[in-house]
């Protein structure tokens, strides 16, 4: 099982993927993950790389790399803050009225499908 954060900021839905917990999917896997019909339904995948300091990357619904905007950086910082608090043993309770935040759990079979999808030419978005 894989846990991700889905954060909505300024009407844009972000999924944040931390590569410390496993590599991120490639182009068609990203398209499947972000798909409203077959995936978790989001607009942008924000990837936190294994190598720190962070140079985050962002990918659109078609799996291609997009510019990292301020909202993507904010979504990434919220997840980093949560991970830091949880690993230090502190309680995490952050409430912001202008955002919607959901924890998403991907099953092992869906994760396998994300990484197998590179073999398929078409992914419905």
Question: What average pLDDT does this structure show over 111-123?
Answer: 69
Nearest Cα to Cα of residue 46 among 95, 84, 7: 7
CB count in 10 Å sphere of residue 93? 6
- Amino acid 121: pLDDT: 47
| Residue 51 pLDDT > 70 | yes
Say which residue, 42 or 23, is predicted with more confidence. 42
Question: Which tens digits make up the pLDDT trace of 57-100?
Answer: 999 999 999 999 999 999 998 888 877 776 665 555 554 544 57
- What are the residue ranges of helices labelled H in 19-121? 27-34, 70-88, 108-116
Domains defined along the chain, listed by start: 2-117 (3.10.310.10)
| Residue 13 pLDDT > 70 | yes
């Amino acid at each position: 099982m894989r846990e991700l954060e889905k954060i909505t900021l300024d009407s844009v839905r972000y999924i944040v993927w931390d590569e410390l917990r496993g590599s991120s999917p490639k182009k068609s896997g990203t398209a499947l993950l972000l798909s409203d019909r077959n995936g978790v339904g989001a607009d942008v995948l924000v990837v936190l790389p294994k190598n720190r300091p962070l140079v985050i990357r962002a990918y659109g619904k078609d799996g291609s790399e997009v510019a990292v905007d301020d909202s993507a950086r904010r979504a990434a910082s919220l997840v980093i803050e949560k991970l830091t608090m949880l690993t230090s043993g502190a309680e995490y309770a952050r409430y912001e009225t202008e955002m919607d935040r959901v924890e998403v759990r991907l099953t092992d079979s869906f994760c396998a499908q994300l990484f197998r999808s590179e073999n398929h030419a078409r992914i419905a978005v």
